[in-house]
Amino acid sequence: MSKIEIKKGDCIKLLKKLKDGSVDMIFADPPYNLSGKSNQTVQSGKPIVCDKGEWDIINDLEEFNNLWIKECIRVLSDNGTIWISGTLHNHPSVGCILKNNNLWIINDIVWYKRNAPPLLSKTRLAPSTELIWLASKSKKYYFDYDLGKILNQGKQMRNLWQINAQRHLTKHPTEKPEHLLERIILLGSKENDLILDPFTGSGTTGVVAKKLNRNFIGFEISDEFVKIAKNRIKDTQDSKDLIFSNKDINNDIALKKSILNYFKK
Ligand X SMILES: C[S@@+](CC[C@H](N)C(=O)[O-])C[C@H]1O[C@@H](n2cnc3c(N)ncnc32)[C@H](O)[C@@H]1O
Contact footprint for ligand X (CB under 6 A): 10-12, 29, 31, 55, 172, 174-176, 199, 201-202, 204, 219-222, 225
Q: Which is nearer to ligand X, 11 or 259 (CB)?
A: 11
Q: Please give the Cα distance from 131 to 138 (Å, whole number).
A: 22
Please report how close the Cβ of residue 98 comes to ligand X at its closest, in angstroms: 18
Q: Please give the Cα distance from 148 to 5 (Å, whole number).
A: 28
Q: Please give the Cα distance from 247 to 82 (Å, whole number).
A: 29
Please report how close the Cβ of residue 233 comes to ligand X at its closest, in angstroms: 11
Q: Which is nearer to ligand X, 12 or 147 (CB)?
A: 12
C-beta nearest to ligand X: residue: 201
Q: Which is nearer to ligand X, 176 or 211 (CB)?
A: 176
Please report how close the Cβ of residue 202 comes to ligand X at its closest, in angstroms: 3
Burial code (b: 16+ CB inside 10 Å, e: under 16) for 53-71 equals eebbebeebeebbbbbbeb
Q: Please give the Cα distance from 184 to 172 (Å, whole number).
A: 21
Please report how close the Cβ of residue 78 comes to ligand X at its closest, in angstroms: 25
Q: Which is nearer to ligand X, 174 or 189 (CB)?
A: 174
